[in-house]
A and B are shown apart, each in its own frame.
Chain A
C-alpha cells in the first residue's frame, strides 16, 4: 500500500550511515513509550480500587522485609514454644479467639503455643519471594520462547506451541508435587527453608511460562507483519536487533500485565504445595503449612485456620485488583 513512497524516504535518509536510523528508531520509541506510559499512569491514578490493591501489596512487602524487626517489637521468635498459653488437655490456646491478647497479637498455635503473628510475617517472606521471583522466571522463559515462536515461525513455532499446549493442559500440581518431592532437601549449601524456596521458584516458574508465552507469541505474530518491522528489516537489521529493539518494547505492556496477574496464581500454588506438605518444610512457617495444620484443630480453634486463610485471600486479592487495574490502564480494549 503506502510502503512504496515511505520506503523511498527512509532510503534517502538512512543512506549515509546506519546511525541516523538507529537514532530515529530510538527517538520514535521514546516518544511513543512516554505517552503510553503517561496515559496509562493517568488512568491508573483514577482507578481507586487498583490503587488500594497496590497499597496493600506495598504494605505486605514492607511487612515481609521488616519481619525480623516487627517480630522483635511485637512478637516472639518463630519457633519459641509457649506451653503456658495452651490448654494441656485439649491442646488448644487458653485465651479466647485462638489466644489473641496484647502479648500475642494474632494468638498462638494450638499444640505448641508458637506466636502466630511472627509466623505469619515470616510466612509472608517466603510466599512473596516465591511468587514474585517465579513470576519473573515465567516471564523470562515465556517472553523469550514466545518471541522465538512468533518471530521465527516454522518448526520452532510448532515445537514451542506444542510444548505450551502440553504444559497448559496437564495436571501441573501433580507434576510440581512430584518434582518437589524427589528433589533433595538442601541445595547450594543453603538451609532447608531457602533451598526449598529456590526449588519452588524453579518449579512454579517453569510451569507458568506457557501462559505468558502464548500471549507473547500471539502478539509477536501480528507485530511481525507491521511496517516498522519491515522497515527495520529492509535497513538490514539483524534478527536479534528486530527481536529485542523493535518487537520487545511493543510487548512490554502485555508482558507487564501478565507478570502481575501470574503472581496471585503463584501465591495460591505456593500455598497449595505447602498445604500438601511439599512446600516450605516445617518447622519453618508458611501460610499453606499453617492451613494444613489447622485441619486438625479447626473445630476447636477456628482462628488458627482463619488467620492464614485470610492472609492468603487478602494478598491474592490485592495482586488481582492491581493487576486488573494495570491491564485496564494499559489496554482499555481488554476490559
Chain B
C-alpha cells in the first residue's frame, strides 16, 4: 500500500512536470519560432527599445527556453527574484510569475478564482451523479417501457446539446422570461449561502445535464449487463427483497466502472467550466484562462493549466484509491 502510494505520487509529479513543460513549450517556444516577442506582449507595441530590453532582462526572456523553464520551476518551489540591475522584484513561492497585462502576481490572482470554479464543479458533479445514476438504474429496471425510452431519448438529446446553447436557453427562459431566479452570479458561500445557491443553480443544472446524460446511458448499460449475472439470480432465488438485490448487489458492480469515468471526466469538466463560466459570466478559473489566452497573457495561462493539472492528478489518485474500497477484487500494487 505505502509503496503503491509512493509510486503514484512520483508518477503524479512526473505528469505535472510534463504538463508544465508542454504548456511552457506552447506559449514560450511557439511564439519564438513564429517570430512574435513575449516582451512585446508584456509591454505593448509602442514601447521604446530601451524599456523593451529592460523587460527582457528582468523577466529573463533572453535566456534559452530550457533555462527559462528551469527558473520557472525554481520559482514554483522556492520563489524567485526578477532583477534588472538595481530594480528587483521578489515573488514568493509558489511563484507563477506576473501577469503580462495587469502586472499582478499570478498566484494570488488564481487562488481567488478557485472557489468559483470549485463551487461550480462540485455542485454540478453532485447533481449529475445523483440524477444520472438514478435515471440509468430506473431505465434499466423498466427496460423497454415508455419511461425507459423517454429517459434514453432525453439522455441522447443531452449528449447532443452544447452547453453554450442550453446555457443561453436556460438564461432566457428562467431568468429573462419567467423571472424565477436572479442573474447567475457567484456569491461566496460563507457570506450568503442562499445567494450562493440561487446564483449557481442554473450553471449547475446546465453543466450537469450534459454529464448526467452520459452517466444515465452508461449506468443503464452496466445495470442491464449486471442484472444478467448469475449472482443476481442467486440473490433473487435466496428470496432477498428486490431492493437489496438492486441496491446492494447490482449497484455495487455498476458503480465500479462509473468511478473510473468520474475520474476521467474531470478534464472534460474543466472544459465544461470554461464554457459555462463564459455563458453565465462567472469569474472563475475558466473565465480567467480564456481572458488570458485572448490577451496572450502567458504566465496566467501557464498557472491555470498547472492548477487544472494538479486538480486532475489528485482526483485521479483519489479515484484509484476509492476503487479498491468499492471493488475488493481490485488489488493496489
Contacts and interface: CB of A to CB of B under 8 A. Distances in A.
A316 B161 CA distance: 8
A169 interface: yes
Interface stretch (B191-199, B235-243, B287-295): B287-295
Interface stretch (B52-60, B69-77, B119-127, B162-170): B162-170
B23 A178 contact: yes
A178 B309 CA distance: 15
Nearest to B302: A178
Interface string A236-279: 00000000000000000000000000001000100110011110
A171 B162 contact: no
Contact of A168 (B26, B156, B267): B267
22 contacts: A168-B267, A169-B312, A170-B312, A171-B270, A171-B312, A174-B270, A174-B271, A174-B305, A174-B308, A175-B23, A177-B293, A178-B301, A182-B26, A182-B31, A268-B162, A277-B294, A278-B293, A294-B168, A298-B176, A302-B172, A309-B168, A335-B221
B168 A181 contact: no
A317 B152 CA distance: 13
Contact of A316 (B18, B160, B221): B160
B264 interface: yes
B206 to A, nearest CB: 13
B27 A178 contact: yes
Interface residues of B, number: 47
Contact of B27 (A172, A182, A313): A182
Contacts of B290: 177, 276
Contacts of A184: 34
A174 to B, nearest CB: 6
A321 interface: yes
B304 interface: yes
Interface size class, chain A: 35 or more
B22 interface: yes
Interface of A: 166, 168-175, 177-179, 181-184, 264, 268, 271-272, 275-278, 288, 291-292, 294-295, 298-299, 302, 305-306, 308-309, 312-313, 316-317, 320-321, 324, 335
B270 A317 contact: no
B34 A275 contact: no
B19 interface: yes
Contacts of A264: 159-160
A327 to B, nearest CB: 11
A275 B19 CA distance: 25
A7 B160 CA distance: 51
Contacts of A295: 168, 279
A275 B224 CA distance: 38
A215 to B, nearest CB: 15
B278 A275 contact: yes
Identify which of B161, B165, B168, B264 gathers the most chain A CB atoms within 10 Å of its CB.
B165
A230 B264 CA distance: 36
Interface string B260-276: 00011011101100110
Given A172-B267, A316-B161, 16 more contacts: A169-B316, A170-B19, A175-B22, A178-B305, A264-B159, A272-B162, A272-B271, A276-B275, A298-B168, A309-B165, A312-B165, A313-B165, A316-B160, A316-B162, A317-B157, A317-B160
